[in-house]
Chain A
């Protein structure tokens, strides 16, 4: 059991490092700016590496988690969350506001990192299948949404450590976490195509500069093109979590007990 936990932790760490290395390659490997060797293949290569990371973590998660109970639970929750994505037009909220982060964050917070990851990644996959939004951008969206759910376990850790469960500070912390990811989600998503579209890609003018200077350029680009959009998403997350988190967590608590049955014996397959 301990061996499998170490393996799971090692897998998470590897996927996180490789994913961040791929997404952060413009700062870490300045050769990405070489026009002749990269052209348009950069976003596709990043997507491919992210896809491989996603396959590894999904493989690990499905093997450790997915029995009939979990398949039914996750499938229905994912369908519901994908449905919320279509409510984006109905719920008043401009810009990058999206209600999907509510269930992703709360399921990661309440049920643990694996379930949080799967809800995040699968929500994006299901809504892409339904809306015809499958493309090279999808692996990046899936893994980032997965990271949102996975990292919610950090809030669980803090809340448990300081005994904040069922206190107002729990909701404050979750809302702050939602705000943080509202911005970070946009920052990571932009990284996918920034070297391709952004200022660094005009011939050679950024090849010689340091990673810090490149980072400054990226944030300047981000500030001018995406910050307002992402602030709206962050504020939307704060509002929706602060209003809905408590009742949703109560429902989760009730169903966690009901889903805690075990099945004895083997299936007749």
Chain B
């Protein structure tokens, strides 16, 4: 291992508890903070989905926490809004990128820390404040907003006459999202600056682990997308608070009141929102793709099949993500020629996605696979990505979308590909990196039980939703038992709910496995998976500046597993060619 004996970067690790664990500048602490924030958000989000499933399957069951135990239609919409907002922003956007990315990006590229540590700390605390603002909406008069995570204008813009929660609750929502945008932009600058300028000697772009590529492209998307959402939130807040008319049309009657606004365009909100919203889908899934490639290669003991094709397809997906936002708006009355354009561009995304899928399968092909919990979740991701992706091709057809839009088909589609697939990547990442983060191993048996229950569970939850969608079941309806053709679907609701409870319960295995083993797990070796990338070559726990002053030089690509002629079946990136032991 080559080493440069140079002094530690900024400073010694801070001594005080608050500087060390709360207002830390260390990317590893900040990454852990993001992961814990995401874990709190996902816990609340899952509790909310359990409430939804109880209410949908057994509408008359009383639920604690609601007035008289009855979930009113407004309450149901509140629950949906908070579930969506928490999951999309504070789990899917936060954990794979800001959580694991913060922790492992600097180590994987051989850097002492992120490029701008103070900015990094600010990003985290702004995200934290943003989540508090969002959650506080549950405790103000009117409660949380009822407009869903997309907050479509004009009902999100006109204030409390649009319903309970559309007053102060919706304002808090918009403020929360605006803060979140600011935090994400700062974080994106940090990720990009770090990757561009702080790579170790010898770490050329085409030697970067695919995780780093995933985080890099995601940060580029976040950089270009969140500014647009921030602008949209500012205009929304002005409509709400300053009587402007950006999104509210003239002559609008809401709850019997004629509004004084004039000339605004509700579609303008949809365009701005989805110009952010579609890249946002990839902000959730691209880091996941990087993590999955990484884990698949490690446990297949084979190089990633088609490394360059993986990089180019990641970039292509990122590029195309800015040109397809209109496919969320096929029923908005857009010109059919525009719809055709958006539809074709959307279908084009299938090409790089298929390249990735086949390359993952190519990586697995003929391998002596180590079926660890991390590997199972990685393979599960590929399965979910295919299932969820195929239904996307259906939805990309404007003619089919007219029927399927806003039905449970869409819910099934995006939960499989965006929600659950990204969550599977987070689980894979947790099982994979836990030994490096906490110095102990997670329990593999519990991990496998967790995997199988979750894997079967999510398919039982979301596959029947496609069927509900074909049957014309609209999303966001609090009660369906009084509608004749929907009432007959009630047994499917009950089945989905039971599957959801079992899946939610299976997560208890994960919680136990995670928190118990932070202290009590089997002691982890430095490199328990015999992996090649830099994070596994440093000691555990990772030193404050990551390399204890001995910054590595990189000599090879990231996935040199089972290289012919080498004694070991893995060759770490920082081993000089002359030091590789011959078989």
A binds B: no
Which residues of A come within 8 Å of B, CB atoms? none
Which residues of B come within 8 Å of A, CB atoms? none
